[in-house]
Each structure stands twice: as C-alpha cells, then as structure tokens.
Structure 1
Amino acid sequence: MEYIRIRSIEDPLFESMHRLMGTVFPPEEVLAAGKWKEPLEDEGIHVYAAVLEGEVVGATEYRYYADMRVAMTDFTIIGLPNLGIGRFLMRNREKDIARLAAASGTEPIGMFAEIYNPLLVDYEFGGVAAMNPYVRREVLSHIGYQRLDFPYVHPSWEENGDAVEGLDLCFLPQDEAMTAVPASLVTAFLERYYTALPNKPAAWHEMIALLKKEEAVKLKAI
C-alpha cells in the first residue's frame, strides 16, 4: 500500500477519492468536486490516499497550525475491510504531522477531530462496517480522543448556511493528563478552520459567542 498526496483535481486519484467520500459520508459533509481545486493546491492542507494496486482504498485529510500548535484531522476514510487501512493512514499521518511540527520548530499540543455521535445520527456510511459511527467512535476513544464538553454544530459543506448537528468536537491531547482545553484555543481554531465557509448558520455564531465567555472547555470520555 502506498501513501500518496493528492495535489490537483486533475489527478486521477482525486476522482476516485471523491467518489469514495460520497459513498461513505452524507452529502452535507462532502465539498463539491470542483471546489477542491484551491484546497488541494494549498500547501497547508494535506490530502493523502491509501493506494493499493492503483486504486484508492482509503484517504485522510489533515492540517497543522504551527501558531496554535494543534493539528486537525478533517477526515479518515476506510474503503475496504481487513487491509489495515485505518492504522496505515494513522501512522503515516502521525509521522507527517511530526515532520510539519519539527519544521516549524513547535511541539504539538494535540489534534482536533469531529466525531459522529451515533446516538444522534443514523447514517449507513456506504455499508462499510469500519465507517459505522459506533465503530469509529470506539476506535477513536481507544486512540485517546476525548469529547470537548459543549453542544457542537458546524456549517454544512454544501454551503447552504445550514447547521450540521450530530457530531462532537473532540481532541486528542499530547499530554494524557490534560483535562481541559483553553476556550480561546477552541474558538481560535474553529474561526480559522471555517473561514472556508463564509455562509455560517446563526447556531454556529451563537456557539462561538458562548465559547468566548468561557475560560476552558472540559475533556470528557467518548
């Protein structure tokens, strides 16, 4: 299996990856293919495919914000079972984020990720068992992710201004003894991350306003 960066919508691997995204994620989580041009050309956004015999069997997207010392895993896709795709993507992502941090002379605090709450959503995720919300949540819990303790919404990637619910914003702390994240870090991260979606719902702005009144956000088990 190869870990290959996708840098252009003209790359044949992109079409295969985007098709896989549409299979395992609901529409509001998938940016239209034509709108991937600038993100893929952005050096700060890292999109990698797990490629087996020329076919995309998994993918991940992530970024590292050196000034905040945090990473974000945008998505992880496992397309086929029994190939170790999840671990392959995780290990390669870890190595690359460590490289990015070292190049910036920073030490990461941790990594954010949005995680589906299966008690709130009922998605089939393309029938791929490894992508089932119950399975994914338990795997991410084993890795060390914890839920940030506040009601979370995010703007729809369909760019229609809708609020997407049914997810938790989670954090994987570098220091396992960490019990809370500064609220200022959470808001700074979210405001930068979602600059790509200018049409934000009122619920998102209300969430940010409430976070700005807090000093810290507790980490809870998932």
Structure 2
Amino acid sequence: MTKMEYRRITNIADPLFAKMHRLMQEIFPPEEVLEFDLWKEPLEDPGIRVFVAVHEGNVVGATEYRYYEDFNVAMTDFTIIGKPGLGIGRFLYLNRHHDLLELAKANGKELFGMFAEIYDPYRTKDHEFGGVKPMDPYVRREVLSHLGYKRLDFTYVHPSWNNDGVAVEGLDLCFMPTDDNVSELPAELIVKFLRRYYSVLSNKPAAWIQMVEQLEAKSTVALLPI
C-alpha cells in the first residue's frame, strides 16, 4: 500500500487545496464550509495549521487546528475522513498530536488540552456527511469520547461561518485535557477562547452573545462524559 503523506497547505493556489475544498463540500453541510476565496488569509496565517492526508495523489483526509500560546490550548477546527479502510483517522490524529506537542514544547509548556465542536446526533439527525460512514456523527462522537474528549456543561451555539448572524445549534463544545483527571475548566478560559476564535466573524447572533455573557458570570464549567 502506498504510504500516506501529511502535507501542510499554506496557499490557496496549492492544487491540494482545491481537492481539499471539494472534499469539504462533499462532507460538511453548506453553512460549515467557508467559500473558496475566503480561505486565502486563513491559509497564510501561521497560527492556523491546515494539513491533508495525501494518498496516491488524492486528498483523502484533512484536518485544521491551531495552538494558542497564551492559553496553552489547541482547537481542532475539523477532521475529514474521506474514505474507510485506509486508517486516515488514526494517521491524522497521530500527526496532529505530535505537531501540537512540539508547538507547546517550543512554548516552554506541556499542552493543557484541546477544544472541539462535536455534533450531537441525538439532538440533530440530519447530517449524513456525504454518506461516508467514518464521518457518521454517532461514530465520530464515540471515537472522540475514546480519545478523551468531554462535554462542557452548558448549552452551546456557534455563529454560522456564513457570517449571516445565524446561531448554529446541534453541537457541544468539548475539551480533551492532557491530564484525564481534569474535571472542569475556568469559565474565563472558555470565554477568552471563544472571543478569540470567533473574532473573524463580525455578525454574531444574539444567542451566542447571551451564551458568552452567561459564561462570564460563572467561575468554572464542569467537563462531562459524551
């Protein structure tokens, strides 16, 4: 079997990016996919790390994530597994994990953990993710639970990436602590992270603003099983 490559994309003109964007459109609902041309700045941002799994010249998987030095946490934006039977999920996880550990080490720290927005298929049942079974929300949720992700104990919405002021529901904000004994997060960390992460979107829905204000009134937020 041809060995997969873990390749970073930093330019919208990279032919691998066009293949990745097509894969995103096949897998994700439209409101979750940023328009092609709007990727120019994110790809050139050194803090946003976009990697693809390349197999026999084709993009068969992808992941985007970022590391915040001042918070010492990471955020995984998305992971795409384009087809079963190639070990794409494990390949992306191991390469991303190694990269993040090195970034934290260069920052003089041990990575505290990583945020992720995870679909809750028990509430929202209409995401088929292109019919690719490894992307099935039930499968993904259980896999991420196995990895150590836990659900933050509040009702979560996020602004649509269409920047149209729509609040997207049906997801949980989750966190995977490096130390599995961590059972809660400072609410202040969550607020600062969310404000930073969504600073690129100018049109925040009222429900998101209210959610953040409610978090600001808390001291900690519990981490619960998913």
SS class of match (2:198): helix
Superposition map of 1:48-197 within 5 A: 48-121=51-124, 122-197=126-201
Bigger shift: residues 22-31 or 86-95? 22-31
Question: Is 2:3 aligned against 1:3?
Answer: no
Indicate if the aligned counterparts of 1:66 and 1:106 stay in contact, CA closer than 8 A: no
Shift of 1:100: 0.8
Q: Of 24, 40, 47, which residue of structure 1 is paired with 2:27?
A: 24
Give structure 2 stretches of 5+ with no counterpart: none
- Of 194, 201, 204, which aligns to 1:200? 204
TM-score normalized by the length of structure 1: 0.99
1:214 aligned to 2:226?
A: no
Moved beyond 2 Å, runs of 4+:
none
SS at match of 2:199: helix
Deviations 1:185-217 (A, max 9, x none): 000000000011111100000000000000000
Q: Report Cα offsets for 1:121-163 as digits up to 9, x if no partner.
A: 1211100000010000000000010000000000001111100
Q: How many residues align?
A: 222
Q: Which amino acid aligns with 1:216?
A: T
The residue identity in structure 2 corresponding to 1:72 is: M
> Which of 36, 43, 47 is the matching residue for 1:44?
47
Identity %: 64
Q: Is the 8 A contact 1:117 1:137 kept in 2?
A: yes
Mapped partners of 2:70, 2:15: distance in 1: 34
- Note the residue ranges of structure 1 that are not aligned, 5 or more in a row: none
1:87 corresponds to which letter in structure 2? Answer: R
**For the residues of structure 2 that align with 1:16 and 1:158, how far apart are their CA atoms?**
21
Structure 1 SS opposite 2:223: strand
